[in-house]
Amino acid sequence: MEKLDQRIQLVASKQFNELVDSWRRTQPDLPSRSEAIRRLVQIGMEHEEAHPMRQITAIIRPSRYEAVRDALSEIGIAGLTVTEVRGFGRQRGKTEIYRGAEYDVKETPKLRIDVVAAAAMEQEVVDAIIAEARTGKVGDGTIFVSPVRGVTRIRTGESDEDVMG
């Protein structure tokens, strides 16, 4: 076994310690808390290497959709999901005129684009969305990036990278 010679100080909450202790009690050799944390980090790193996928969700102006879709296709994104949504951020809605009457719209219409891609493509996808969705005005939207633990194609049962290929 490799000699461990680096110490790392970790300040953790009581809740975190309880979760670690709960997990380590399920281990047959009941490791110390520090060994349990080391093992959990290793498990997380191995999982990331085996399943390196990201879900990128972009909330954009409807008028920018076609440009964003085309940019994503150009970089090799084979599929995406688009949903019409309504909401507000810093913009806090807007005032519109309908048949001569002025009224406030609290939630503005947007499009939500969901893409699952390899982690290696994460920044390229984000950059493509920004390049095509940005107008420089309030209300351009937001991008969220989340890890994906797994994906399965319903029709064939294929999973993870086989689905993305």
SS3 for 13-37 is: CHHHHHHHHHHHCCCCCCCCHHHHH
pLDDT the model gives residue 88: 80
pTM: 0.66
Q: What is the DSSP string of 52-77?
A: -EEEEEEEE-GGGHHHHHHHHHHTT-
pLDDT value of residue 62: 96
Would you state the pLDDT for residue 83?
97
Domains of the chain, by residue range, sit at 14-50, 53-164
**Topology annotation, domain 53-164:** Alpha-Beta Plaits (3.30.70)
Asked whether 138 and 91 are in contact (CB, 8 A), the reply is yes
CA distance 137 to 59: 14
Element (H, E) at 104: strand 101-105
Query: Which DSSP letter does residue 49 get?
Result: H
101 and 144 in contact (C-beta within 8 Å)? no
Q: Supply the pLDDT for residue 68.
A: 97
Q: What is the pLDDT of residue 91?
A: 66
pLDDT, residue 1, reads 64
Identify which of 105, 113, 104 has the alpha carbon closest to the alpha carbon of residue 142: 113
Q: What is the pLDDT of residue 139?
A: 85
Q: Which residue ranges in the chain fall short of pLDDT 50?
A: none
Would you give the end-to-end CA distance of the chain in angstroms? 38
Question: Across the beta sheet with 108-118, what order do the strands follow?
Answer: 81-87, 108-118, 53-60, 141-148
pLDDT of residue 151: 83
